[in-house]
């Protein structure tokens, strides 16, 4: 057989082998890709270090127990006398709506829930999920600013979460449930913008949307706002925003969709 014939046969065989190998390789690769596409995404499961302590979860009973290193909140006799005089002052604002739960009481002897220089969130409708409060709480918890939440109604699970955080002293908290007339009285007295659910859920909340007062005192049946001249000096921007919203005119720099 001629050498060129042998070379041609070898070339044909090599070519066929390359074609077959390529087809099989491509088939295998496509099969692997299809399997990867159909398979669930890879998930990295966090692992605890062997020496790390096991996570500790609180039961409901434990969560509602004040921590051993909790800061004292009981008032002195002098402070109670001062508050009593403020309650009798005709310039203090009183609404017929007390604390939503006894878990917010800070002074057991008098049964008062007292917060000093709190921010006040006034909600125009019921609070149905804790998500509505997260944005506000995140802004205040770092500065250790107490918060009074005023709303016509608060869902049971949301109220329970506020209670636990108040007991554990995550921050100063107080919830007050009141009707619309009293709610508007609070908003007017502390110069707060009445926030609707859509704004609370979106997380859009400027610092001047919150109201404030020098001292907030709640009993089981009523709440008292102590307003001072020094406090009202800090609210011109909040007053302007509230007036502009009531007329449908956006305040300067307020880009919130209407």
Question: Can you give the pLDDT at residue 242?
Answer: 47
CA–CA separation, 211 vs 17, rounded Å? 82
Question: Can you give the pLDDT at residue 256?
Answer: 45
pLDDT in tens, 80-104: 999 999 999 988 999 999 999 999 9
Name residue, tokens 């082998």. 17
Question: Can you give the pLDDT at residue 118?
Answer: 96
Question: Can you give the pLDDT at residue 42?
Answer: 65
Question: Can you give the pLDDT at residue 252?
Answer: 47
If one counts every other C-beta atom within 10 angstroms of the C-beta of residue 150, the result is: 27
The model's confidence at residue 187, banded by pLDDT at 50, 70 and 90, is very high
Q: Coil, strand, or helix at residue 39?
A: coil
pLDDT in tens, 55-84: 655 566 666 777 788 888 999 999 999 999
Q: What are phi and psi of 109, to 5 degrees?
A: -65, -40
Question: Can you give the pLDDT at residue 115?
Answer: 97
pLDDT in tens, 104-114: 999 999 999 99
CA–CA separation, 71 vs 68, rounded Å? 9
Find all residues with CB under 8 Å of 210, minimum gap 6, and list them.
Answer: 119, 120, 121, 136, 192, 193, 238
pLDDT in tens, 38-49: 666 666 655 656
The model's confidence at residue 229, banded by pLDDT at 50, 70 and 90, is low
The model's confidence at residue 231, banded by pLDDT at 50, 70 and 90, is low
pLDDT in tens, 117-175: 999 999 999 999 999 999 889 889 888 899 999 999 999 999 999 999 999 999 999 99
CA–CA separation, 201 vs 93, rounded Å? 29
CA–CA separation, 144 vs 171, rounded Å? 6
Strand partners, 217: 114, 224
CA–CA separation, 205 vs 155, rounded Å? 21
Question: Can you give the pLDDT at residue 160?
Answer: 94
Question: Can you give the pLDDT at residue 186?
Answer: 96
Question: Can you give the pLDDT at residue 244?
Answer: 55
Percentage helix, strand, coil, to 5, in the chain? Answer: 45, 15, 40
DSSP letter (8 states) at residue 46: P
pLDDT in tens, 193-225: 999 998 888 876 777 889 999 999 999 999 999
């Amino acid at each position: 057989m001629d050498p060129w014939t042998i070379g041609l046969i070898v070339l044909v065989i090599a070519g066929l082998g390359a074609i077959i190998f390529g087809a099989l390789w491509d088939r295998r690769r496509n099969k692997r890709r299809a399997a990867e596409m159909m398979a669930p995404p890879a998930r990295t499961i966090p692992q605890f270090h062997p020496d790390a302590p096991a996570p500790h979860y609180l039961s409901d009973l434990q969560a509602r127990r004040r921590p051993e290193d909790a800061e004292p909140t009981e008032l002195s006799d002098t402070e109670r006398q001062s508050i009593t005089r403020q309650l009798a002052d005709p310039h203090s604002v009183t609404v017929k709506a007390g604390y939503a739960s006894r878990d917010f009481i800070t002074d057991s002897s008098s049964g008062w829930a007292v917060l000093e220089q709190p921010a006040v969130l006034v909600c125009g409708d019921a609070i149905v999920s804790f998500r509505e409060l997260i944005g506000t709480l995140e802004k205040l918890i770092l500065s250790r600013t107490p918060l009074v939440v005023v709303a016509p109604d608060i869902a049971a699970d949301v109220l329970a979460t506020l209670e636990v955080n108040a007991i554990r002293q995550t921050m100063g908290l107080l919830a007050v449930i009141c009707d619309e007339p009293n709610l508007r009285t609070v908003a007017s007295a502390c110069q707060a913008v009445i926030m609707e659910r859509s704004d609370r859920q979106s997380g859009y909340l400027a610092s001047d949307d919150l109201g404030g007062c020098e001292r907030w005192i709640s009993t089981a049946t009523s709440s008292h706002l102590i307003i001072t001249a020094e406090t009202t000096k800090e609210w011109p921007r909040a007053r302007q925003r509230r007036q502009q919203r009531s007329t449908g005119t956006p305040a300067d720099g307020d880009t919130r969709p209407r």
